Amino acid sequence: MSALTVQELSITVGGRMLVDGVSFAVEPGECIAIVGESGAGKSLTASALLGLAPGRVRATELSLDGVDVRRFSESQWREVRGDRIGLVSQDALVSLDPLRRIGAEIAEPLAIHTRLSRAARRERSLELLESVAMPSPVARAAQYPHELSGGLRQRALIASALAGEPTVLVADEPTTALDATVQARILALLRDIADSGTAVVFISHDFAAVRRVADRVLVMRAGRVIEEGPVGEVLVAPSQAYTRSLIAATRHAPREDRFGLGEAVLTGIDVSKSFSGIPAVADASFTLLDGQTLGIVGESGSGKTTLARMIVGVESPDAGDLRWTGDHRVQLVHQNPLGAFDPRWTVGRSLREALAAGGVPRERRAGRVADLMAEVDLAPELSRRRPAQLSGGQRQRAAIARALAAEPDVLVLDEPVSALDPSVREKVLQLLGRLQRERQLTMIFVSHDLEVVAAVSDDVLVMQHGSIVEQGPVASVFAAPQHPFTQELLAASRA
């Protein structure tokens, strides 16, 4: 008997069918992954498994542990949730009650479903913390979510979902908010959970993560399952073109060509910066060549954004030197394009402001705006919209267009594609490559995503805790990493 059986699941919200004909079954000890881009219906499907989906849910079969849950009332669902099926969400910082201690959060399913005394519940939550490899469980149980690091918080969230010993565990993007090295450990934990007999439904848009955790995979697009099968088969030899394009978007071969690079444009010598006594960048030394794409890679808190901002000139180093040879115009493409535009202004107006600041005379501005929009492949009528009315990919292009309005020869990009879906990401990366060739730009590409940096950069700086731990041509750094952190980073991002 399967732990979970779903046949012909459909969910209709507001008259639109957002999930159509999804069918799958999960055995105990098996992990099935549901992948797709945003809007594919994966999270909606997951919420239907818990009876939390909005709108109308229909299925020819939906059974949990052999029990038909299709016509369950709310109170029947409440008995089943937490007890037979558990949920692990993204980002434990907001998925755990910030005002309650970890121990209390973990013990809650026990308080709801069992008659254990408070002391017994406490015992059990400590056991659960140990089972998810939480260091110093007694101390941690007394702490609050914000006092734990991201990885430990996620473990606590998983422990809380397992407290009721559910047959099925639904994990909805459980590692997306985490750094790569931490992600790897959590994924290993999920694999262990599956191996010890729980049926795991793993939802993600990240194929690399799916490779590590799942046995079988379902690919969803626009509410339908377009391909399914064992992970080894689907990810190596997908039968559908869409699946192929999705996978291709996540894999990049490191750039081999390094010719055409000129003289040093910028030299950084022992650049350091602290904020309120806490060092953000320490003794960073590097060289930027004309026409080069320099990648700066690191996890959150590594100092990469601070370094980029110093290069642009928004911050100045406390110590050390950033020496530019000659006159160069440097522009920044922000990490968050929505925040970087005045929300009340249309995109066109923001572009005109950038042109005005660059000294373009009034009568030429409209023409230049049209040129810039065309250059970044944006339809001209989009210039009359406000940033909030554009899609993520369109906004990113608009941000690039605005940076180009000042005619820079050095372009610094801070996580330009991190928030985009894989297919959109590809297009923006191609655009950046084309712009670099056409305008002969020198680019600095800051990211936490190794694959992306590898695909676009000539040289790379690897940063950890404010220091550059390794640097060099991207192909050699990736083929033979010297520093342990680089090795860990590479191991985490590869299957």
Partner 1 sequence: MSAARRVLLGAALLVLAIVAAMALFPGIIAPADPLQTDVRGALEAPSAAHWFGTDQSGRDVFSRVVHGTGRSVGIGMLATALALVAGLVIGALSGIAPRPVDAVAMRINDVLMAFPEFLVALVVVAILGPGAVNVAIAVTLAAVPVYVRLARVQTRTLVLAEHVEAARILGVSRSQAFTRHVVPGVLGTLSVLATIGIGSSILAIAGLSFLGLGPTEPVPEWGLMLSGGRNVLGTAWWIAVFPGIAITLTVVSATVVGRMLRARLEGRVA
Partner 2 sequence: MKPLLVRLAGLAASVIVVLWGAATLAFLAFRVIPGDPVSVMLGPQAQVSDAVKDGIRAELGLDRPALEQYLSYLGQLAQGNLGESYQLRMPVTEVIGRQLGSTLQLTALALVLAVVLALVLALFVRGRVGRGIVAGAELVVLSSPVFWIGLLLLSVFAFGLGWFPVSGTRNPATIVLPAVTLALPVAALLGQVLRDGIEAAERQPFATTVRARGAGQVRLTAHHTLRHGAAGALTLTAYLVGSLLGGAVLVETVFARPGLGRVTLAAITDRDLPVITGIILFSAMVFVVVNVVVELLHPVLDPRQRRASRIAVGELRR
Please choose which of partner 1, partner 2, none residue 342 contacts, taking the beta carbon within 5 to 8 angstroms, the exact cut-off set by kind.
partner 1
Q: Which of residues 273-332 bind partner 2 (CB under 8 A)?
A: 278, 301
Residues 6+ apart with CB under 8 A from 320: 268, 269, 270, 271, 272, 283, 284, 285
The smaller minimum CB distance to partner 2, of residues 1 and 278, is found at 278
CB of 413 to partner 2, least distance (A): 24
Residue 339 binds what, of partner 1, partner 2, none (CB under 5 to 8 Å, by partner type)?
partner 1
340 binds, among partner 1, partner 2, none (CB under 5 to 8 A by kind): partner 1
CB of 465 to partner 2, least distance (A): 7
Partner from partner 2, partner 1, none contacting 160, C-beta within 5 to 8 A by type: partner 2
Q: Which range of residues in 95-103, 256-264, 321-329, 398-406 is near partner 2 by CB under 8 A?
A: 95-103
The listed partner (partner 1, partner 2, none) that binds 149, CB under 5 to 8 Å by sort, is partner 2
Does residue number 390 form part of the binding site for partner 1 (CB under 8 A)?
no
Q: Which of 117, 339, 361, 363 binds partner 1 (CB under 8 A)?
A: 339
98 in contact with partner 2 (CB under 8 A): yes
Binding mask of the shown chain, residues 249 to 278, with x at each position contacting partner 2 by CB under 8 A: -----------------------------x
CA–CA distance, 421 with 388 (Å, rounded to integer): 18
Q: What tokens were used for 8?
A: 């012909």
* Beta carbon of residue 386, minimum distance to partner 1 (angstroms, whole number): 8
Choose among partner 2, partner 1, none what residue 483 binds, the Cβ cut-off being 5 to 8 Å by kind.
Answer: none
Q: Is residue 116 at the binding interface for partner 2, with CB under 8 A as the rule?
A: no
> What strand order describes the sheet that includes 467-473?
330-333, 410-414, 442-447, 293-298, 459-464, 467-473
Q: Indicate which single residue of 231, 354, 390, 456 sits in contact with partner 1 (rule: CB under 8 A).
A: 354
Q: Which residues of 71-80 are buried (b: 16+ CB within 10 A; e: fewer)?
A: ebeeeeeeeb
* Residue 27 sits in the site that holds partner 1 (CB under 8 A): no
Using CB under 8 A as the binding rule, whether residue 465 contacts partner 2 is answered as: yes
Q: Which is nearer to partner 2, 112 or 247 (CB)?
A: 112
> Given candidates 16, 71, 146, 344, which one binds partner 2 under the rule CB under 8 A?
146
Residues found near partner 2 in the complex (CB under 8 A)? 50, 52, 75, 77-83, 86-87, 89-91, 94-100, 108-109, 112-113, 144, 146-149, 157, 160-161, 164, 278, 301, 465
Residues found near partner 1 in the complex (CB under 8 A)? 312-314, 331-332, 334, 336, 339-344, 353-354, 356-358, 388, 402-403, 405-406
